[in-house]
Amino acid sequence: MDQFDDMIKVKAKTEPIVLPEGFEERNNTLIEGLVAHYASSKRTLNFPAICFGTPAIAVLIIMVLTCTAAAVAYTLSGGDFFMQFFANKANNDAKNDYSYMNTEQLNDMASSTVGTVVDTKDLTIDVMGVIVSGNTAEIMLRVTANQLDSVLYDTGIEPLQNYRFHNDTSGSLFNDFKMGSISYYYRDKDKRLAPNQFEILYTMIGSGNFEKGQYTMELTDFGYFDFSREDQFKPLYSGSWQFNISFDPSSDTSKSLFVDKEIMIGDYSFTLNSVNITPLACTINLNCNEDEAFLDEHIKEIYKAFSDESKDCSLTLADGTTLSSGQFEPIPSGGAEGFTLILAFYGPVTVDDVVSLSLFGSEYSLNEES
Amino acid sequence: MTEQHEKFCSLMKDYRPGLFHDAKGILRNDTDAEDAVSETTCKAFANLNKLRNFESFKPWVMKILVNEAYGIARKRKRTEPLDDISDESGNSDILESLELWNAVKLLNVEFRTVTVLFYYEDMNIKEISKILNLPQGTVNSRLNRSREKLKTILTRKEAT
C-alpha cells in the first residue's frame, strides 16, 4: 500500500458518517418488526414472510448454524450410523460434556430405511440413517453429484454457495412438525466425504409424537444460491427427487408427562401443560393465560420474559448429574396459540434416567409416566 | 428469538451506519441508500439460517447490501456519469467543498464501489473480489483507476 492509500484510509476513518434524521429509529422499528414476526410466525407455523428463495410451507425451520460433527463411512444400520455420528460429535466438541450420552439405545430408535433411494445419471441419494423417538427424529441423507468433480462452489465468503437443494423441506414428512433444523456437511468440514458429495442432517421436533408409517421427502432443484440473480438461486439440475422414509423404530424410548400447573413467568400467568422427553430432546408445552387482547398487545414483552427465563432450566439424572445448557440447546418459541421450550440434547440421553426438570423457578418430577 | 437472532440484531445495529454509508457511496442519495439498508436488513434476517459462521457476517451482509444497491440502481434506471469527471469536477462550487467523500461521489459507480470497500471498509482486493463476484485483477484495475482519479480530484482541490 502506498502513502496515498494510507492517507486516504486515515481520512476515510476520520470522516463522520452523516445518517439521515430518524434512520436508526426506522431501522430499529424494522428489526423489531422482523423479530416480532418471527415470534408470531411460530404461532402460525409459517416461515417469515420476508423470505426469498424458499417456497412458503407450513413449517418452521431453524437451521443449525454450526456443523462441527463429522459423518462417517456408510454402514448398513441406521442405528450404527448415528452411534458413530454422535461418538464423533462428542470427540470433536471439546467445549461440551457428553458423559451422560447413551448411544446404545440408538439401534432401538432406528428405522428400516437405509441405503440408496434415488439413483440417476446426475444424482445419487442415500439414506444413511433414520432414528425416531416420540416427537423427535433425525435423518441423514448423503447426496452424490455424479457428474461433478466437486460440490464446493465456494466463492470464498459463504458455503451457502456450495451446491445444495433449493427446497429441501417438501413431502408428507414436513406436514406437521413444530420445529426443525437442517445442516449441510461438505468435504471442507468432513474429509471422509468425497469432493462431489455432501450430507444433509434433518433434526425434527413434531407437533405430536410421530406416527409409525411411511413418509415422503422431496428435494427440489439442485444448484447454488446466487444473490445477483433475480430468483436468488441458480439451478444446475431443475426438477424434484422424491422418496419414502419409514418411521418404524423397534421400541418407544420416549416419555410424556401431563403437568397442568399454573405458574408465573415474569409478571405473566402461564399454564405448564406437558413435558415430552425423548433421547434427542425435551419439549415443554405451555399456554399463556393472559387474555387475547393483552397478549396481542404485549406479545413481545411476554415472549421476552419467557425466553429470558428459559435459559435457566436444567434436568437432573438419577445419579445426581445435572444437565444444563452445556448439554443441550434451549430453543424457546411462542405466541397466542401456545409457548414451547425445546431442549435439544447434544447427545442422546437415557430417558428413564431423567428424574426431574427444573424450570421457571420450580422443580418437576418426571417419574410419573402417563 | 434465537441466539442467532440476538447476535444478528446486535451486529446489524453495529454495522448499519457503515452499511448506509457504503450504500450511499453506490447510490449517492439518502433515500435509495436507506432503502438498500432496509432491504438488506430484511434479506439478511430471512436468510440468517444460511450463514454458517458469524465471523463471516460482515462480508456476507456487505455482499447482500451491494447486490441490493445495484438492484435499486438498475430498477431506477439512473444514469451514472462515465469515466470522464470533468463535467462535475469543473464545477468550482463542488470543488471548493470537496472532502474525500465528495470526491468519491464523483467517480463512476463501479469505481465508487471498490473505493468505498477498499478505503472505508478497509477490505483487501481478495475480499472485494468475493463481494463483487469479480476477478481480483478487475478489482485491482478498478482500484488503480479510482486511485488515479481521486488523486486528480484531491490535487485539484488542494490547488484551488
In chain A, list all ranges with CATH 2.60.40.1630.
Answer: 78-247
Query: Considering the domain A255-365, what is its CATH architecture?
Result: Sandwich (2.60)
Q: What is the mean pLDDT of residues A357-362?
A: 88
Q: Which CATH architecture has domain A78-247?
A: Sandwich (2.60)
For residue A163, how many other CB atoms are within 10 A of its CB?
23
Question: pLDDT at position B121, please?
Answer: 87
Q: Closest chain B residue to A7 measured between Cα atoms?
A: B119
- Partner-chain contact A65 B47, CB within 8 Å: no
User: In this predicted structure, what is the pLDDT of residue A51?
Assistant: 24
Percentage of chain A beyond pLDDT 90 is 41
Can you give the pLDDT at residue A148?
92
Alpha helix segments (H runs only) across chain A:
3-14, 23-44, 78-92, 106-109, 292-310
**Roughly how many angstroms between the first and final C-alpha of chain A, as a whole number?**
71
Q: What is the DSSP string of B27-49?
A: H-SHHHHHHHHHHHHHHHHHTGG
Interface of A with B in 296-355 (CB under 8 A): 303-304, 307, 331
More confident residue, B117 or A157: B117
State the pLDDT confidence band at B152, using cuts at 50, 70 and 90: confident
Q: What is the largest CA-CA distance in chain B?
A: 56
Q: Which residues of A touch B2 (CB under 8 A)?
A: 62, 331
Give the model confidence (pLDDT) of A319-335 as tens digits.
999 999 889 988 888 87
What pLDDT, on the 0 to 100 scale, is given for residue A1?
Answer: 55
Q: What is the pLDDT of residues A120-130, one digit of tens each?
A: 999 999 999 99
Of A11, A27, A225, the CB nearest to B16: A27
Cα(B20)–Cα(B34) distance, integer angstroms: 6
Nearest Cα of chain A lies from the Cα of B111 at a distance, in angstroms, of 15
Residue A280's pLDDT band, with cuts at 50, 70 and 90, is very high
- Given an 8 Å threshold on Cβ–Cβ distance, is B56 in contact with A27? no
Q: What CA–CA distance (Å, rounded) separates B13 from A208?
A: 38
Q: What pLDDT is recorded for position A186?
A: 86
Residues 6+ apart with CB under 8 A from A116: A124, A125, A126
Measured between beta carbons, the chain B residues lying within 8 angstroms of A19 are 17, 20
Burial A247-277 (b: 16+ CB within 10 A, else e): bebeeebbbbbebeeebebeebebbbbebbb
Least confident piece of the model among A306-310, A342-346, B61-65, B86-90: B86-90
Contact residues, chain B, for A24 at CB < 8 Å? 13, 16
pLDDT score recorded for residue A124: 97
- Look up the CATH number of domain B86-159: 1.10.10.10
Largest interatomic CA distance in chain A = 76
pLDDT for the residue numbered A52: 22
CATH class of residue range B3-75: mainly alpha
What is residue A160's predicted lDDT score, i.e. its pLDDT?
Answer: 54
Check residue A54 and give its pLDDT: 25
* Sign of the CA dihedral running B41, B42, B44, B45: positive
- Tell me: pLDDT of B103 over 50: yes
Mean per-residue pLDDT, A141-153:
91
Confidence band, pLDDT 50/70/90 cuts, at residue A154? low
Give me the pLDDT at residue A72, please.
38
- Three cell numbers at B121? 471498509
Distance of CA A300 to the CA centre of its chain: 23
For A213-250, how does the pLDDT look when each residue is reduced to its tens digit (9 = 90+)? 999 999 999 998 776 666 667 899 999 999 999 999 98
pLDDT of res. A110: 94
Q: What is the 3-state secondary structure (H, E, C) of A210-268?
A: CCCEEEEEEEEEEEEECCCCCCCEEEEEEEEEEEEEEECCCCCCCEEEEEEEEEEECCE
* Cell representation of residue B129: 473480489
Q: Which residues pair with A198 in a beta bridge?
A: A143
> Which residues in chain B have their CB less than 8 angstroms from residue A160's CB?
47, 50-52
Chain centroid offset of residue A132 CA: 15
Q: State the Cα torsion B17-B22-B24-B26 to the nearest 10°.
A: -170
d(CA A114, CA A130) in angstroms, rounded, equals 7
Which pLDDT belongs to residue B88? 36
Per-residue model confidence (pLDDT) at position A6: 85
Give the model's confidence band at A147: pLDDT under 50 very low, under 70 low, under 90 confident, else very high: very high
Give strand pairing partners of B95: none
Which of A2-6, A151-155, A245-249, A360-364 has the highest mean predicted lDDT (pLDDT)?
A245-249
Q: Which of A9, A19, A169 to mutate to test the interface with B (most CBs of B within 10 A)?
A: A19
pLDDT > 60? residue A47 = no
What integer pLDDT is reported at residue B149 of this predicted model?
87
Q: What is the pLDDT of residue A55?
A: 24
The pTM score is 0.62
Contact B45 A50 (CB under 8 A): yes
Which among A86, A85, A110 has a CA at the least distance from the CA of A96?
A86
Q: Is the pLDDT of residue A194 over 80?
A: yes
Does B82 score more than 70 pLDDT? no
Tell whether the model's pLDDT for residue A50 goes beyond 90: no
Q: Please list every residue in chain B whose beta carbon sits closer than 8 Å to the beta carbon of residue A3.
A: none
Instruction: Decide if A11 touches B, using CB distance below 8 A.
Output: yes
Per-residue pLDDT averaged across A148-157, rounded? 72
Q: Which residue has the higher pLDDT, B5 or A199?
A: A199
pLDDT number for residue A228: 63
Residue A66 has pLDDT above 60, yes or no: no
What are the domain boundaries of chain B?
3-75, 86-159
The Cα A338–Cα A330 span in angstroms is: 17
- Report the C-alpha dihedral over residues A304, A306, A309, A312, rounded to 10 degrees: -120
**Nearest Cβ partner of B50 from A15, A28, A160?**
A160
Q: What CA–CA distance (Å, rounded) separates B10 from B40?
A: 15
Q: Please provide the size of chain A in residues.
A: 370
Position B80 pLDDT exceeds 60: no
Nearest Cβ partner of B37 from A8, A27, A331? A27
Mean pLDDT score of chain A: 81
Residues in chain A closer than 8 A to B67 (CB atoms)? 227-228
